[in-house]
């Protein structure tokens, strides 16, 4: 009886020991998981801190780097205009005689090798007797057009933004004109888009150097919806009053503003009896891209008509 009682007590004690062991093991496992969970956010934070996301590269800087990388040093010519440095692509004439210099000014947001028209002219005109200087312009000014609530505030902000941009563009153009004077012959400027319209504004100022002739490619003034009509009317009036011979080209399939404002420029030129002004619409298949042969034909025909 005594032996039976001892055996029964031992049997009852064993489950309690096993239960204590399970509880200890479970507590240890939970503690280990808790420690791992607590350290996980620190690891993720460290990884994020070590490799932050870099902002996108400046558009103008990217164009400059591309030109310096893909073109030979004898074509890429740095240019200092005021405190800013620019890149130009220079090609000398390859025909028997030199006619002069063509300065190619692309639209903002476009490169000096813009395939819509500029690059074709840059590569083709040297065989026709022209030295070419293709400019890599600055990027579209940040914050333009203004997002202010009232029209009055939009006008003020746009003027401030464009004043700085036009100042830099004017310094760049004068520096390129100084380079162009090193060559013999006439100086012809071919400007595109908004830069063409802003260049007309710059050339209307008395202290600006002037080329012998100007060719505009799909030029217009971008602005706020409420200010588009007034800004493009100013552009048309400045163009009509300039004494430069002007060839005004645009496309059948073009920016809607270019197409809608082209008749206004032609009308004002007629009212001011502007001499040596010609406007032509060219047929194209791809929106914004100039037909190469017709473009070259229009330029050559107009230059012959004014005696060049």
Q: Is the peptide bond before 16 cis (omega within 30 degrees of 0)?
A: no
Residues 91-107, mean pLDDT to the nearest whole number: 95
Instruction: Classify residue 204 as left (phi > 0), alpha (psi -120 to 50) or beta.
Output: alpha
- Give the pLDDT score at 7: 46
- Taking CA atoms, 153 is separated from 5, 148, 149, 212, 231, in Å, by 101, 6, 7, 38, 15
Does 33 have pLDDT greater than 60? no
- Give the pLDDT score at 3: 42
The pLDDT-based confidence of 66 (bands split at 50, 70, 90) is confident
Residues 169-182, mean pLDDT to the nearest whole number: 95
- Give the pLDDT score at 37: 46
Residues 119-133, mean pLDDT to the nearest whole number: 96
- Give the pLDDT score at 206: 75
Residues 39-67, mean pLDDT to the nearest whole number: 61
Could you read off the pLDDT of 207-232 as tens digits, one per residue? 789 999 999 999 999 999 889 999 99
- Give the pLDDT score at 21: 47
Q: Bigger pLDDT: 13 or 194?
A: 194
The pLDDT-based confidence of 51 (bands split at 50, 70, 90) is low
d(CA 137, CA 220): 17
- Give the pLDDT score at 2: 42
- Give the pLDDT score at 105: 97
Residues 36-63, mean pLDDT to the nearest whole number: 58
| Mean pLDDT for the chain overall | 85
Does 258 have pLDDT greater than 80? yes
- Give the pLDDT score at 177: 96
- Give the pLDDT score at 182: 93
Of residues 242, 239, 241, 260, the one with CA closest to residue 250 = 260
- Give the pLDDT score at 146: 92
Strands (E), 106-226: 130-135, 186-192, 213-217
pTM: 0.80
The pLDDT-based confidence of 69 (bands split at 50, 70, 90) is low
**DSSP assigned state of 127:** G
- Give the pLDDT score at 50: 61
């Amino acid at each position: 009886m005594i032996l039976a009682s001892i055996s029964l007590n031992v049997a009852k004690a064993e489950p309690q020991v096993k239960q204590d062991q399970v509880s200890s093991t479970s507590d240890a496992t939970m503690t280990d998981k808790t420690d791992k969970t607590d350290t996980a956010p620190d690891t993720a934070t460290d990884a994020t801190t070590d490799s932050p996301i870099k902002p996108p590269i400046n558009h103008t800087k990217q164009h400059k780097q591309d030109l310096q990388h893909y073109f030979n040093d004898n074509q890429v010519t740095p240019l200092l205009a005021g405190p800013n440095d620019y890149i130009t692509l220079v090609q000398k004439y390859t025909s028997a005689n030199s006619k002069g210099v063509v300065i190619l000014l692309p639209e903002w947001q476009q490169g000096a090798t813009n395939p819509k028209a500029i690059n074709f002219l840059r590569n083709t005109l040297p065989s026709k007797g022209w030295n070419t200087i293709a400019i890599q312009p600055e990027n579209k000014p940040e914050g333009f057009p203004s997002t202010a609530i009232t029209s009055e505030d939009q006008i003020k902000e746009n003027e401030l933004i464009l004043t700085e941009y036009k100042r830099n563009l004017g310094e760049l153009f004068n520096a390129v004109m100084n380079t162009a004077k090193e060559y013999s012959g006439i100086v012809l400027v071919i400007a595109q888009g908004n830069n063409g319209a802003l260049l007309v504004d710059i050339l209307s100022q008395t202290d600006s150097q002037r080329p012998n002739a100007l060719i505009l490619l799909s030029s217009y003034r971008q602005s706020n919806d409420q200010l588009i009509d007034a800004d493009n009317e100013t552009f048309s009036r400045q163009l009509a009053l300039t004494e430069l011979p002007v060839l005004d080209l645009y496309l059948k399939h073009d920016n809607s503003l270019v197409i809608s404002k082209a008749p206004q420029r032609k009308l004002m030129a007629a009212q001011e009896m502007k001499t040596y002004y010609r406007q032509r619409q060219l047929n194209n298949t791809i929106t914004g891209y100039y037909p190469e042969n017709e473009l070259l034909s229009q330029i050559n025909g107009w230059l012959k008509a004014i005696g060049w």
